[in-house]
Amino acid sequence: MTLEAVRDEARAFLADHFPKWRKENNCDAELDFEQQRSWQRYLYEHGWGVPTWPVEYGGRGLGMLESMVWNQEKVAAGAHTFFNLVGLGLAGPTIIARGSEDQKGRYLPPLARGDEVWCQLFSEPSAGSDLGNITTRAEKIDGGFVVNGQKVWSSGAAESDRGMLVARYDADLPKQQGLVYLLVDMHARGVDVRPLRQIDGGAHFSEVFFTDVQIGDDDLVGAPGDGWSVAMTTLTNERMSLGGGFGTFAMSFDDVVAIARSTGRIDRQQLVDVYARRVVLDVLNNRVQSALFSGKIPSAEGSVIKLLMAELGTATADLAIDSLGADGMLAADAPSAQQRFLGSHAMHIGGGTDEIQRNAIAERVLGLPREPRPDKEVPFRDQLRS
């Protein structure tokens, strides 16, 4: 199936089905959580729920290039949501690539239908950019593991049914070798989810505490010691998921211009800056598409796109609030602009901080040497930690 054929089919499907679905479900405004779930189920029933997954798991077997086209058409139709992004974009592909056949059979169907929502349980108070510092413990017992510890900044954990957990099972091994990757029931005894209130009033992130949580061997992905490798599979899919629909992370240029015109506060230089940033992102996305079309796997482009995507989100939100003046402080008068402004700085952290992206660019594009890692072969229990 050619790229244009995918685009034509996707565009025709969305034009025919999305308005009809919205009308039947009385979706006049922005979709809430359950409406997003319903839309995901509708897409699954019509063959578009997980288009990049293999056919045997409910997908269409589309490649990365076709997936980008699908995302572009969803954004253009206003049908793109972030429902269960962690589950559909991270957990599913990780289980497909690294999970057992039993795990695929148990977890992929309800995930694809939108029946179960997943979260990512990686970051900890002292293990964010360097996941090798994880201290959450997974003690081996007969038939499974007992987990104790804390995770933080877990997106959507309060609404999740299951999670992907990386924990330490052997502190005598170097920090990247003594890890396990477990699939956890978020409703299990000993799992305590505490939402974190954000500056914009929402609570999209949570801290999660584990107290003697029992997880069976059948929920271990890979073998003990494979945790770091499986986690890298998840993080690779995370970057692809974030880059696929960058336009939805920032206000549209037309919306920013409309606000500036309505208030009469038109800063042409800032508008030119925002427009140029969006054009650069379009060019980079086209470059990635061209590379994929030629059979090449992009390297540092993902880091560049992630970094510029965050900067564009901040630039558009800042300009909108500047144009609104004092009215920008009133959520009732400008909910979209205010929410975008208050949430824009999170994009510089989630999915890899700006500093991490710049390190990747420095090493892969500029050829600068990697930072020294004197602790790489030191047993974790012997490492100095704050």
Q: Known catalytic residues?
A: 238
What's at 125, amino acid-wise?
Answer: P
Task: Report the distance separating Cα 70 and Cα 14, nearest Å.
Answer: 10
Residue 154 DSSP code: E
**Encoded amino acid at 362, one letter:** A
Distance of CA 242 to the CA centre of its chain: 5
Write out the H or E segment, with its range, that includes residue 262.
helix 253-263
Distance in angstroms (rounded) separating the CA atoms of residues 374 and 217: 33
Count CA within 13 A, CB hemisphere, residue 227.
Answer: 31
**Parallel, antiparallel, or unpaired for β 162-168 and 118-121?**
parallel
CA 363 to chain centre: 24
Helix (H) or strand (E) holding 183: strand 179-185
Q: What is the residue whose two structure tokens read 């990386």?
A: 166
Structure tokens at 86: 């962690």
Rounded to whole angstroms, the Cα distance separating 101 from 111 reads: 15
Per the rule left: phi > 0, alpha: psi between -120 and 50, beta: everything else, 24 is: alpha
Residue 191 tokens read as 């799992």
By CB atoms closer than 10 A (0-12, 13-18, 19+), residue 374 is exposed
Query: Of the candidates 277, 357, 351, 282, which has an alpha carbon nearest to the alpha carbon of residue 315?
Result: 277
**CA 204 – CA 152 distance, rounded (Å):** 12
